[in-house]
A and B are shown apart, each in its own frame.
Chain A
Amino acid sequence: MHLPLSEMYNEPDDRNVLDRMRQGVIGQPLDRPEGALKVSGQATYAAEWRIDGCVEGVLVLAEIAQGQVTAIDRDAALARDGVLAVIADPAMTRRSAQGMAAKAPQQDAAKVEYFGQPVALVVARTFEQARDAAVALRVDYADAAEPVPFDPHAPDVKVEAPSSSKPVEGGDLDQAMRDAAFSVDVEYDTPGHASAAMEPHATIAQWQGDSLILHGSYQMLAYNVKEIADCLGISPDKVRIIAPYVGGGFGSKLGITHEAVAAALAARELGRPVRVVMSRQQVFQTVMRRSETRQRVRLAADAGGRLIGLGHEALVSNLPGEKFAEPVTQATEFLYGGENRLLKVEVARISRLTAGSVRAPGEAVGMQVLEAAMDELAEKIGIDPIELRKRNLPATVPVQGTPYSSRMLTQALEQGAQAFGWSARQDRPCQTRDGDWWVGMGVASAARVNMMVPAQARVTLRADGSALVETDQTDIGTGSYAILGQIAGEMLGLPMARVDVKLGDSALPPGAGSGGSFGAISTGSAVLYACEEIRKRLAKILGCAAEELVLKDGTASHGDAAPRPLRDVLGGEDLTTTGKIKPGKTAKAFSQASYGAFFAEVGVHAFTGEVRVRRMTGVFGFGRVLNAKTARSQCLGGMVWGIGSALTEELAFDTRDGHLVNHDLAEYHVPVHADVPAIEVILLEERDAAASPLQAKGVGELGICGAAGAIANAVYNACGVRVRSFPLTLDKIVPSLPDPFAQTL
């Protein structure tokens, strides 16, 4: 068979090449190779590189929300012990770059657009000196002539249609609502979220002549190089970013952020390396937020519980002119039927830090609301919420008519119901009491779009019979090292100990980067293609067809021939090639998404309204599982995010001056261990040839997409309180709780 190694992925590759290999490592729950380094403190993160002569920079944040810096008292700062420079350069950024921007974000930090925006950098010999001088730095401002509101619901706020998405309209939704036997028309709020990655944003910048080396914490190096270069007005080939280990990103490290540009400018001015590490508070205030949303969901169902209309409209926010608008309705487009529909996002222009991608932009907040509204509809109709979902899975994408590449939603709902024990659920609230706790169950679908982006990877089968995989792909804690090694090991017939993976250096071929759940399938496909080419060359050496070649445990054979060690076959030569892939026609020809189902059991304290998740089950189908351990971890982590989104996480802005009130991990409440009960993750194997030549789809964000909905639905099922404002903190539940001294109602 002809190998379709065209760069453009135009035709589904259903050869299932990986299934024909013999090594048996693909899909296995193998440990990540760098795991021991990370847990023993030996993995070097951005700020930890020891670089001779490095001095320390601390960002100075604006103490107003909008205006112009008119003066900075450099002299007073420079008179302090150890202070070397005060950088307030027009090239400094005032916003973070969006994912895949590949160009400079808004520069000129002297124009202040939001409270806490960086306006200067103080550099000193020690971190303590720099921080002290940064606190003391006097900055004068002039107020903005035309201030922008702080609150997306302020009466004078400007609301625009985003340039990044168009509404989906079909039929007549208003008429469908009038015709419906059962309908729901509800408004939900979700708050802003922070990525809260464990490793704060940090950069060490070092110039060698006119070339810049950055040790940084970033997700997408090939794009980040261009962003930095554009900021500094230099050629991208003069920039190298080194980021072998990244302590979480969740979208906040997709694009370059302030510290990188400031460090590079300072290092250039001082002629020595400069390190800038953001404090936790600075990360919260300056990097990136998920927009808060206000969502109206309209569901119109006929007497048989089938959707005839579906409306999902969202108001999100961002800074003026910023293109990104949280794509709230992204999964609503293809998930359920209802030909009469209106899906629309609008963006309010406000003064808060840049809104951008936070893990699963769109679905994370869109799905939790849609799935809560579906629960409301199921209750109105009086059918099981799983049955409602199963009844409303369309044959093709409504309005567009696109076929689905694969969709394991029904299987996930059914298998999950079985595993979770859904049949024990009471169909009315306040039926189950465990001591002081009302207990309830909820379900939600999971859906997240699948995306491929251009990616390259170089694979070398070395003369000694070991392999080296090289790409600038990052591993942000996801398992890139593990899965890329497994793909190469499977394809080249090598045990994992004989495969080295080198990542996170922009000098290497550009991988996809880590974002949008596309890293594994995009860069993994590039690795697969490179390995196929190497197999072809090996087959040529052995005088057989590539399909006949059997590679296992470092040997090659074909037909009846005895296996020969690769070292002998290679005859002292390395075989090296770069695999490349780009999205092609399959991206448009099929609706591609990963699917699943969430089941949650919660307790709601009958007196205090505290909600605690008691157990959760998630079932997910996302094509081929590349590593059952790292995939499970992704799903598990996503569900933990779901707990936070449902119950605790909320960016609180003071709408008088626009400042973020809870800018640390003490008051921005991510779930802690005690909030996370036993979580069961079930992975459904499938093959989705339209998605990638690996027949795999994205999984990095799937676990969050709908999880909070299942929890909210369980809260209602437990205590009968429907809260339409996330997170479901106890203050929103207590006022509607039934008499705590009643045992059941």
Chain B
Amino acid sequence: MKPFALDHAASPDAALAALGKGATAIAGGTNLIDLMKLQIATPERLVSIRRTGLDRIAPDGDGLRIGALVTNADCAADPRVRQDWPLLSQAILAGASPQLRNRATTGGNLCQRTRCGYFYDTTQACNKREAGSGCAARDGFNRIHAVLGTSDACIATYPGDMAVALLALDAVVLTQGPYGPRQIPLAMFHREPGDDPTRDNVLQPGELITAVRLPAPTGGRQIYRKVRDRASYAFALVSVAVDLTMEEGRIARCALAFGSLGTVPWRDPAVEEVLIGQEPSPALFARAAEVLLHHARGFGANDFKIPLAARALAATLAQATKV
């Protein structure tokens, strides 16, 4: 860890001022501190945004506005979230541990970095950590890596759960920055690596997440299914978030997002189109999986994710469409 200065911002404006001068925002620190210990992140100035007052959940029209500093634990336990957006609650509770969820925040979690072992090991080549150094994961031990959205430069997954649920729920990320406020649909928030894997998301320098907005609840059946190596405290191998409504035996509407499958939380409208208007059946689920995975590509140790994703999708859809 490098020596660093730490300031506390008492308001969003104070935080933005500090960010404008080159400080790095720290909220729960559950990921950033690890990165600093390993010198993967070496900020000279940190500004803590924990006292900026962005820690409230409030109604927003028919939807809900979740402050960026709302902890994962508080968000998952919120009665409104549990009632109308249970997918979000399930996804958060599927991740990390109670201690981490007490600390981790909504905005911070969106910015969580990958779990690629080569990214965390400074003896290894990693384009995400050090642009142009290469990708040791591609031909290495890549069991947890992505099969969708990869590039020659990077095959690391976005590892989190919360964002996968938010993606299926059509959430919007609200930010403030040097050029004013922005509303970024979650589907646009994370970046595929392309030829610049160093940037995980579209946040600009000096920009701060202030909240996440959920649109009106769909009333659909919501399931977050996380497939992992152990029953708790493990990142997903594949996760499926579904929000689905049945009408007269057919799938009337459906939102599907996938975690740890792609380099970003993954949503593919074509998969939903296959399903909407159809009667659920194993054959239909298989067809949806084919569309989802048509362009999937494994790198050896993670080849299994492709059939696994199809099976996880089938299991989740079977559960969600059961009368």
Contacts and interface: CB of A to CB of B under 8 A. Distances in A.
Contact of B304 (A128, A654, A661, A734): A734
A661 B315 contact: no
Given A607-B314, A667-B115, A731 B230 contact: no
Contacts of A656: 139-140
Contact of B143 (A609, A731, A734): A731
A436 interface: yes
Contacts of A131: 1, 37
Contacts of B232: 672-675
A63 interface: yes
B262 to A, nearest CB: 18
B230 A436 contact: no
Nearest to A648: B230
B62 interface: no
Nearest to A612: B231
A115 B124 CA distance: 12
A673 B234 CA distance: 12
Nearest to B231: A674
Interface size class of A (residues with CB under 8 A): 35 or more
Nearest to B232: A674
Contacts of A741: 282, 318
A671 B233 CA distance: 9
Contact of A730 (B115, B122, B139, B308): B308
Contacts of B61: none
B271 to A, nearest CB: 17
Interface of A: 63, 81, 115, 128, 131-132, 135, 436, 605-610, 612, 647-648, 652-654, 656, 659, 661-663, 666-667, 669, 671-675, 729-731, 734-735, 740-741
**Majority SS at the chain A contact face:** loop
B102 interface: no
B123 A608 contact: no
30 contacts: A63-B123, A115-B123, A128-B1, A132-B39, A135-B39, A135-B122, A436-B319, A607-B314, A608-B227, A608-B308, A608-B311, A610-B228, A661-B118, A662-B117, A662-B141, A663-B121, A666-B115, A667-B144, A669-B234, A672-B232, A674-B231, A674-B232, A674-B233, A675-B231, A675-B232, A730-B229, A730-B237, A731-B308, A734-B304, A741-B282
B307 interface: yes
Contact of B315 (A135, A608, A652): A608
A162 B229 CA distance: 35
B299 to A, nearest CB: 14
Most buried by B among A131, A135, A661, A674: A661
Contacts of B39: 132, 135
A671 B3 CA distance: 36
B2 interface: yes
B312 interface: yes
B230 A734 contact: no
Given A669-B230, A730-B237, A436 B315 contact: yes
B140 A672 contact: no
Contacts of A740: 311, 314-315
Given A731-B304, A731-B308, A672 B117 contact: no
B230 A128 contact: no
B1 A654 contact: no
Nearest to A61: B123
Most buried by A among B1, B233, B312: B233
A609 B307 CA distance: 11
A661 B229 contact: no
Contacts of B118: 661
Contacts of A662: 117, 141
A734 B3 contact: no
A612 B230 CA distance: 8
Most buried by A among B123, B229, B234: B229
Contacts of B143: 652, 731
A607 B319 CA distance: 12
B229 A669 contact: yes
Given A131-B1, A132-B2, A661-B117, A672 B307 contact: no
